[in-house]
Structure 1
Amino acid sequence: MEKEDIHEDYEYDYDLEKTAERQDGGVQLELNEEDDSPIEEVRVTVPNTDDPLMPCNTFRMWFLGLFFTALISFVNQFFYLRQTQISIGYSVVALISLPAGHLMAWILPTREWNIFGWKFSLNPGPFSIKEHVLIGTMTSCNTYTAYAVDIVILQKVFYNAEKPFIAGLLLVLTTQITGFALAGALRKVLIRPAHMIWPSTLVTASLFRSLHHVQEREEDLNRMPRIKYYLLVTLGSFVWYWFPGLIFPTIGMISWICWIKPDNIILAQLTGSNGLGFGTIALDWSAASYYVTPLVTPWFAQVNILVGFIIVTWIMVPAAYYTNLWNSKNYPILSASLYQNNGSSYDKSQILTDNILDEAKYLAYGPMRMDSFFALTYGVGFAGLTATVVHVVLYNGREMVERWRAARTENDDVHSRLMRVYPEVPNWWYYVLFIISLGLSFVTCVVWDYMPWWAVILAMAIAIFFVLPVGIVQAVTNQQPGLNIVTEYVIGYMLPGHAIANVTFKTYGYIVNVQALTFTSDLKLGHYMKIPPRVMFNAQVISTIIAGAINLGTATWLVDTRPGICTAAGYPFTCRSTKTFYSASIIWGAIGPARVFGSKDGAIYGPVQWGFLIGAALPAIFWGLSKKFPNTTWLKYVHWPVLLAATSNMPPALPYMYSNGLFLGFIFMYVLRHYRYNWWARYNYLTSAALDSGVAICGLIIFFAVQLKEHNFPFWWGNPEDGNWDHCALGGANYYEEFL
C-alpha cells in the first residue's frame, strides 16, 4: 500500500507523521500501553499495533490464494463423496503457504512496473503476515464444500431429474454469495464492538503471529518462543494421531465401564461410545475437539453446554427410552436412521411414486418412526431457535439500538481506531452484490423449477431475520444455532410432498445465514490483523466464486464417471453425507412435518413442537429473575440459546465427544486460566491450532499412504476387524436385541 493511499479520514488524536517509527521496512503505529482491548482474551492474543505500509494486496497473495483455493476446493469435494471423508483446513494451508510465500519473495524480480500510472512490483519485499492471512482467508471461506452441490447430486443420482450445468452453477453461486452481501450490514454490530470477540479468530490470529515470529515482549524473552512451542506441539500431535487414527483406534473411544459386562444391553447403551457414552474416554483430539472446540469456546459457554448436555443426554433421553416413550425400545437409544414401528428399517421406496409421496402407499406401508433421542433433539432445536431471538432482544436489544444510533460518534476500541487508516468498503458494494445475487436466485429457482418465486423471498427473510441474533450468539460464545430445522419445518408445511423444493428452500434459508456469519468471522479476523477491508472484500468474493464452480465441476465429473456412485456398489464413493441430505428431503419434503410432528396419518411426535414455546419462555424467565435478583451473579451467565443448542449436532455427533471436550475445556479454560494465567495467555490458543495442525497432517498422510490404496493396518485387539473399536457391540443396539 502506497503511503499516499492512507485514508484521509484517519482520526487518531496524534499526527501520523510525528508518531510513526520505521521498523522492518514499515511504519509501526505505537499506542500507549494502557490503550488496548478491554477484552482479556483479545488483549493477550492480538497486538495493539499496526504497520499500514506492510504489503498485502500483492501478486504473491493472489497467486497463492487462488492456487490454494482451487486445490482445496477440488480435494475437499473429492473426499466429501468418499466413505472415509477428509477435509483440508485452515491450519494446513497456513503451514504450506508460508514457505511458498517466502520462496516467491526470494525468486521473484523486485523491478517496479508502471502501467498507465499504476505502479506495482511482483516482489515488494519480505513475505508479510497480512499476505499470509489473506491467503488463509481465501481458502477458509471454502474449506467446506458448497452446500447446494448436494442438491445437484440429489437430482442426478436419487431423483433422476438432472438440470443443466448452468442451473446448478447459479444455484451454488447465489447461495454462497448472497450471505456475503448480508455480512456488510453486520459490520457495525458484529465486527467493530470490542466485546464481539469471535473466539475462533483468536486461534487463527495466534497461529499467524507464531508463524511470523512476532516480536516478543521483554518479560517473555526467557520463555520458549511461540513458534518453537507451536512446532513441538504440532509434532507431538502428529506422532500421537497415528495411534487413534490407524494403529490403535480403541484408545479413541475407551468404553471401560461397558467392559465390566459387555453383554448387558442397558450398561452397553448407557456407557458405549455408540450409546450415551457415559464414562467413555477419548484419547483422540479430533473427536474431543470437533464439536465443542474446548480451547476456544469461553468457559461460561461451556458450562451452559454442559448443563444442556446433561439434561438432554443423561436425564431426558434415558427417562424417555426406558419408559418406552414412542415405542423407543424398538430402536437404538441413539440413531439418525428411520424405522418402521416394529424396529425394522424404513424403506423409503415403498412410499414414493416418481419420487413424490404416494399417500395411498404411505398409509398402506405405515408411518415413519425415529428413536426418542432423535425426536427430542428436534424439540430442543425448536426451543433453541425461539430462545435465540428472545435472548438477544432482552439481553442485547437496547445495546443494538444504541449502537446503530451512535455508530458515528462512539468511542471505538484500539483495533477499530487502527482500522480507520484503511478505506472502508462502500455500502453500495454490498447493496449491488445483494441485488445481483437475489435477482439470479429468482431466475435460477423459477426458470429451472427449483421452487416458487415467493419461496425465495421467504427463505431470504428467514436468513435475514435470524442473522443478527445468531451472529451475536456466535460472536460471544463460539456456538452457532442452525436454521436447517426451521427452514425445513416451514417449507414442509407450505409445500408438502416436494422434496427438491424443500432442500432448495433449506439451502437458501440456512446456508445464506451460515455464509453471512462465516464471512463476518473472516472480516473480524481481518479487523484483528489489520487487513484493508477492500482487499478482504475482493479476496473473499473472488475466491468463493472460483471455489463454488470447482466444487460443482468436481462433483459433476465424479457422478458422470463413477458407476454406482452413492451406492454400496460405488465404493469408496458412497456419499455418506449426501445420503443423509437425501433422507432429510424424504422426512421434511416428501413425507412432510405434518405427518411427522403434526397429527396427520398417525404422526406421534407432535408434542416436541412445544419446544417453540418453551424456548421463548425460558430466557424471559431468567432475564426477569436476573433483574429481580441483581446480586445473584450466576443468573447472568445462563445462556439459553447455547444451553439448548448443546445437543444440536447429535446425531451424527456422539455424546462421548461432548463429555471429553468439556473435560478438556475445564482444564484449559478454567483451571489453567485461573491458576497458570501467564502460560494460558501465551500458549492456550496456539495449543489448539497446533493440535489441529498435527491431526490434519497425519490424517492426510494416513489417507494417501494407507487408505487410498485400500490397505489395512494388521488387525488385533486394539484394531478389531469387525470395526467394533470400543468393544461394546450392544451400545448401538435396540433394547430387545439382547433377547433375540
Structure 2
Amino acid sequence: MTDHKQECFAGNDFIDEKHDTERASIALEEEENSPIPEVAAIVSNKDDPHLPAMTFRFWVMAIFFPMLLAFFNQFFWFRTNPLFLTPLVIQLISYPFGKFMARVLPAGSLNPGPFNIKEHVLITMAANCANGVAYAVDITVIQKVFYEQDFGLMANWLLIISTQTLGFGMAGVLRRYLVYPAAMIWPANLVQVALINTLHKDEDLLPGQWSRFRFFCITAIAMFFYQWIPGYIFPAISAIAWICWINPKSHILAQLGGPKGLGLGVISLDWNTIVGYLGSPLVVPWWAQVNMALGFFIIAWVMVPIAYYTNLWEAKRYPIISSLLFRTDGDSYAFKKVLDPETKSLSQEGYANEGPLRIATFFTLTYGIGFAGLSSMITHTWLYHRHKLVAQWKQSRTQAEDIHHKLMQAYPEVPDWWYASVFVGVTAITVFYCQFYGYMPWWAVLLAVLLAVVFALPVGLIQALTNQQPGLNIITEYVIGYILPGDAIANVTFKTLGYISMNQALLFTSDLKLGHYMKVPPKAMFISQLMGTVIAGTVNLFTAHWLLNSQPGICTPANKDFRCHFANTFFSASVIWGVIAPDLMFGPTSIYNAINYFFIIGFLLPIPFYYLKRAFPNTWVENIHIPIVLAATGMMPPAMPYHYTNWLALGFCFQFFARRYYPEWHLRYTYVMSAAFDSGVAFFGLLSFFAFTMHDKYFPTWWGNPAKEMCPLDAYPLMSPKGGMPDPWGTSEEGMHVFPIAYVPPTIAGNK
C-alpha cells in the first residue's frame, strides 16, 4: 500500500496529493475575515487541512448515532406524549465518545491522533440528517391503519428514501448560490459552530465548577429518575387543571380550564409534556418566544373563544379543540362510507349520503392562520429584507471569495455529476414506483419535483438570511387537490414530494454551509449526508413497521400509549384535501369559504407594523415579527394551550431571567441542560416501555393515577348531536355522546 493510499485509508478526506501545492499557496492573513460581522465573531478564519476527518472513529459514530437518533425519534413519534431528541444531544455525547476512542484505540490508521473538530462536524452532519422522522412514514401509517392498504415493505422503503434524498441533488446546484457566497449567512448554523468550538476549546473552570460534560451526565441521570414520577407513578401532575377541579360538572369551566380545552391555569410538572410538541424552550431566543406568546394569546384565548361561543360555523356542535372529522349534525364522520372500496377515492354516492365534512372551528381557524402565515412571509420579507436581499445577492455574485471560501479551495470539490446522478436517479425511481404501485400518476411526480425545484432557490435565499422558511405544504396539497380531487394517497404523496424535497434540499444546503464554516472537505460532507439520510430513513421505516405490527390498536383511541397524534393529523389532512378536496371543503359552496380571505389578511398585516416601526424606531414595535406571530399556533393541536403556557413559563425563566441575571451560567449550561433533560426522558421512555408497557403492566390506580379523566367535559362539544348538554357520568342517557378523544391537527412540520 502506497503512502498516498495509507493517507486516504486513514481518513484524510479523499484529498489528492496534487492539492498539496494548492494548500501551500493559500495565504492565511490574520487580518482577513468574513465581511459579515456575526460570522467574523464566531467562525474561525484559520484552517489546518491536514486534520483527518473520515477516520475509523467517524465511521463508527456516523453510523451508530444516526441509527440511535432515528430509532428514538420514530419510537416517540408514535407515543401519545411524543418527544424528539435533537442533534444537539449527539453533538454533546459524541464529543466524550470520540475522546474515549482516541484514548483506547491503538495508534495508527484506526486512531490517527486526537479526536478533532472536523470529525465532530461530520458526525453532527450525519445526525442532522436523522433529525425528526422521515415525513413519508406518515403515508405508510395512514395507508395501513386508516385506508387498509399496504403496498409492501419495498414500496414503503422506496417512498421514504426517495423523498428524503431527492433534495440532495438540488443542493448540488444551490451550493453555488447559498453556500459559497459570504453574504449567505444561515444564522442557525452559527449556534452549532459556537457550540462545537466551545466543546473543542479547553474550559476554564473556576474552583468547584462543573465541566459541561459532567453537568450533562448528572442532569440527565437526575431527569431519568425524576421522570418516573409524572411518567409512571403520578401522571396527574402532567396537567394540574385546578380551575376545572373547582366544579368538574361545569361544562364551560371545563372548556376554559381543562387540559383538552383552552387550558387556563393548567400547570405541568412533566418535561416530556411541555416540550413534546414545541421542542425545548431553553434554546429559543426570548424575542421569538414573545412573538409566539402574542400570537398564542390572540389566536387561542381571544379569537377561538369568540368564534366558539358565538357559534361560528356551528362551532358548538363540535369540541372546542379537535382535529376529528364530523358530520353536519356533530356526529363522527364515517369517512370509509365516502370512499370507493376499490380505488380508495371519493364516492359521489357515498358523499351524498354522508353529507359535507365538518371540522372543529379551531381546526378551521388554524388553516386560515396557516394561509395568512404563508402570505405574510412574502410581504414581511419584501418590506423588511428586500434591500438586504438585493444587496447581499449582488455581493454574493461579486465578492464570493471571502476567507472561508479561499480556505475551502484546499479541498477538491464534489463533481456536479455526483449530485446530478442522485437527482436524476432518484427522480426516475420515484416515477417508476409511483406509477407501478399506484401512489400517483408519473406526470404528478414530475409536477411535484418541478414545484420543489422552482421554489428551492427563492425560499433558500430567504432562509439563508432570515432563518425563516415559508412552507409549501398548504400550496402543494391545494394544487393537487384541485387536479386530482378525491384521491387521498395521491394528495399526500404529492405534498410530500413537493414540500419535503424542497425542505430536504435546504437542510442539506444548510449543512453544507456548516461544513463550509468549519472547513470540512466537500466529498466527506457528501458521503456523510447521504449515508446519514439513508440510514435514518431505513431505521424510521423498520421502527414504524415493528410498532405497527406489534401494538394492537395503534394510532387509535384503543391504544392509550401509542395514539400517534401526528399521524392522526396527517390522516385528517388527507381526507380534507384529498378525499373531499379543496373545492368541496373550501370552495364557494362551503361554509368555510371565508378562510380563503386569510391569504389577503396575511399579505396585508405586516404593512402597518412596518410603517409603525419606521415611525417609532428603537421601540418595542421593532420586535414584532408577524410571520412568527401567525406561526405561533401551528402546532395546535396536537399541542394544546397548556403546553404553550408552561413552555413559555420555562422560556421566561431561562431565556429571559437567567440570561439577563446569570449570563455566565446561562451561556455555559442552558443548552447542555436542554439536551440532558431530553436524553433523560428518552431513556426513561424506552426503559418503561420494554419493562412495563410492553407487558401490560401499569402503576396501580390511585388519586394521582386515576382510572377516569379528572376533567371529563373539556373534550366534549357544548351541544351534543342529540341536543342538550353531554353527560360523561351517564346520568342522562339522552345527553350522552362519547367522542373518541384523539385530538390532533396541524404542525409546523406540515402535517396539515
State the TM-score, normalized to the length of structure 1.
0.84
C-alpha distance after superposition, 1:52-95 (max 9, x if no partner): 43332112211332234345545655665566766565355556
Match for residue 60 of structure 1 among 57, 65, 68: 57
C-alpha distance after superposition, 1:15-47 (max 9, x if no partner): 6xxxxxxxxxxxxxxx6799997339x957x77
- In structure 1, the residue matched to 2:712 is 729
**2:522 matches 1:533:** yes
- In structure 2, the residue matched to 1:605 is 592
Match for residue 683 of structure 1 among 661, 669, 678: 669
Match for residue 282 of structure 1 among 246, 268, 285: 268
**2:118 matches 1:135:** no
- Assess, with a 3 A threshold, how the Cα gap between structure 1 residues 735 and 488 changes in structure 2: closer, same or farther: same
Match for residue 698 of structure 2 among 686, 709, 712: 712
**2:301 matches 1:317:** no
- In structure 2, the residue matched to 1:513 is 502
- Assess, with a 3 A threshold, how the Cα gap between structure 1 residues 183 and 311 changes in structure 2: closer, same or farther: farther
Match for residue 396 of structure 1 among 385, 401, 416: 385
Q: CA deviation at 1:253?
A: 1.8
| SS of 1:730 mapped into structure 2 | coil
Alignment of 1:137-216 (within 5 A): 137-156=125-144, 158-159=146-147, 162-163=150-151, 165-187=153-175, 196=185, 198-199=187-188, 202=191, 212=199, 214-216=201-203
**CA distance in 2: counterparts of 1:300 and 1:511, whole angstroms:** 28
- Assess, with a 3 A threshold, how the Cα gap between structure 1 residues 453 and 426 changes in structure 2: closer, same or farther: same
- 8 A contact 1:197–1:475 mirrored in 2: yes
- 8 A contact 1:6–1:422 mirrored in 2: no
Structure 2 letter corresponding to 1:229: F
- In structure 2, the residue matched to 1:116 is none
Structure 2 letter corresponding to 1:334: I
- In structure 1, the residue matched to 2:333 is 346
**2:348 matches 1:359:** yes
Structure 2 letter corresponding to 1:735: L
C-alpha distance after superposition, 1:646-672 (max 9, x if no partner): 111111111111222222223322333
Gap regions ≥5 residues in structure 2:
1-11, 720-724, 728-734, 736-752
Match for residue 8 of structure 1 among 13, 19, 22: 22
**2:454 matches 1:457:** no
**CA distance in 2: counterparts of 1:738 and 1:95, whole angstroms:** 51
**CA distance in 2: counterparts of 1:591 and 1:157, whole angstroms:** 19
- 8 A contact 1:186–1:468 mirrored in 2: yes
Q: Superposition RMSD on alpha carbons, in Å? A: 3.7
**CA distance in 1: counterparts of 2:294 and 2:543, whole angstroms:** 42
- In structure 2, the residue matched to 1:641 is 627
**CA distance in 1: counterparts of 2:631 and 2:242, whole angstroms:** 28
- Assess, with a 3 A threshold, how the Cα gap between structure 1 residues 424 and 594 changes in structure 2: closer, same or farther: same
- Assess, with a 3 A threshold, how the Cα gap between structure 1 residues 413 and 557 changes in structure 2: closer, same or farther: same
**CA distance in 1: counterparts of 2:235 and 2:193, whole angstroms:** 32
Match for residue 665 of structure 1 among 635, 646, 651: 651
- 8 A contact 1:198–1:524 mirrored in 2: no
- Assess, with a 3 A threshold, how the Cα gap between structure 1 residues 472 and 268 changes in structure 2: closer, same or farther: farther
Alignment of 1:363-382 (within 5 A): 363-382=352-371
| SS of 1:257 mapped into structure 2 | helix
- Assess, with a 3 A threshold, how the Cα gap between structure 1 residues 304 and 95 changes in structure 2: closer, same or farther: closer
**2:38 matches 1:39:** yes
- Assess, with a 3 A threshold, how the Cα gap between structure 1 residues 504 and 674 changes in structure 2: closer, same or farther: same
**CA distance in 1: counterparts of 2:714 and 2:465, whole angstroms:** 36
Comparing 455-464 with 269-278, greater Cα deviation is found at 455-464
- 8 A contact 1:10–1:420 mirrored in 2: no
Comparing 137-146 with 262-271, greater Cα deviation is found at 137-146
- 8 A contact 1:382–1:486 mirrored in 2: no
- Assess, with a 3 A threshold, how the Cα gap between structure 1 residues 559 and 700 changes in structure 2: closer, same or farther: closer
Share of identical aligned residues, percent?
47
Alignment of 1:650-661 (within 5 A): 650-661=636-647
- Assess, with a 3 A threshold, how the Cα gap between structure 1 residues 721 and 195 changes in structure 2: closer, same or farther: farther
- 8 A contact 1:450–1:504 mirrored in 2: yes
**CA distance in 2: counterparts of 1:639 and 1:13, whole angstroms:** 42
| SS of 1:604 mapped into structure 2 | coil
- In structure 2, the residue matched to 1:25 is none
C-alpha distance after superposition, 1:508-558 (max 9, x if no partner): 112113322333443344345443333122111122223334444555566
| SS of 2:692 mapped into structure 1 | helix
- In structure 1, the residue matched to 2:107 is 110
Alignment of 1:487-566 (within 5 A): 487-527=476-516, 529-553=518-542, 555=544
- In structure 1, the residue matched to 2:284 is 297
- 8 A contact 1:39–1:195 mirrored in 2: no
**CA distance in 2: counterparts of 1:75 and 1:503, whole angstroms:** 25
**CA distance in 2: counterparts of 1:200 and 1:99, whole angstroms:** 22
| SS of 1:378 mapped into structure 2 | helix
**CA distance in 2: counterparts of 1:695 and 1:36, whole angstroms:** 42
Q: CA deviation at 1:380?
A: 0.4
**CA distance in 1: counterparts of 2:219 and 2:171, whole angstroms:** 35
C-alpha distance after superposition, 1:599-641 (max 9, x if no partner): 34xx2111111111111112244334445x2636444433222
- Assess, with a 3 A threshold, how the Cα gap between structure 1 residues 294 and 587 changes in structure 2: closer, same or farther: same
- 8 A contact 2:183–2:393 mirrored in 1: no
- Assess, with a 3 A threshold, how the Cα gap between structure 1 residues 416 and 250 changes in structure 2: closer, same or farther: farther
- 8 A contact 1:189–1:403 mirrored in 2: no
- In structure 2, the residue matched to 1:124 is 112
| SS of 2:326 mapped into structure 1 | coil
**CA distance in 1: counterparts of 2:407 and 2:705, whole angstroms:** 54
Match for residue 270 of structure 1 among 248, 256, 260: 256
**CA distance in 2: counterparts of 1:206 and 1:242, whole angstroms:** 34
**CA distance in 1: counterparts of 2:188 and 2:531, whole angstroms:** 26
| SS of 1:708 mapped into structure 2 | helix
State the TM-score, normalized to the length of structure 2.
0.83
**CA distance in 1: counterparts of 2:371 and 2:70, whole angstroms:** 33
| SS of 2:53 mapped into structure 1 | coil
- In structure 1, the residue matched to 2:745 is none
**CA distance in 1: counterparts of 2:36 and 2:667, whole angstroms:** 14
- Assess, with a 3 A threshold, how the Cα gap between structure 1 residues 441 and 127 changes in structure 2: closer, same or farther: same
**CA distance in 1: counterparts of 2:265 and 2:552, whole angstroms:** 43
**CA distance in 2: counterparts of 1:303 and 1:476, whole angstroms:** 21
- Assess, with a 3 A threshold, how the Cα gap between structure 1 residues 286 and 560 changes in structure 2: closer, same or farther: closer
- 8 A contact 1:295–1:685 mirrored in 2: yes
**CA distance in 1: counterparts of 2:696 and 2:167, whole angstroms:** 40
**CA distance in 1: counterparts of 2:550 and 2:286, whole angstroms:** 49
- Assess, with a 3 A threshold, how the Cα gap between structure 1 residues 671 and 101 changes in structure 2: closer, same or farther: closer
**CA distance in 2: counterparts of 1:189 and 1:636, whole angstroms:** 30
Q: CA deviation at 1:251?
A: 2.2
**CA distance in 1: counterparts of 2:247 and 2:235, whole angstroms:** 21
Structure 2 letter corresponding to 1:457: L
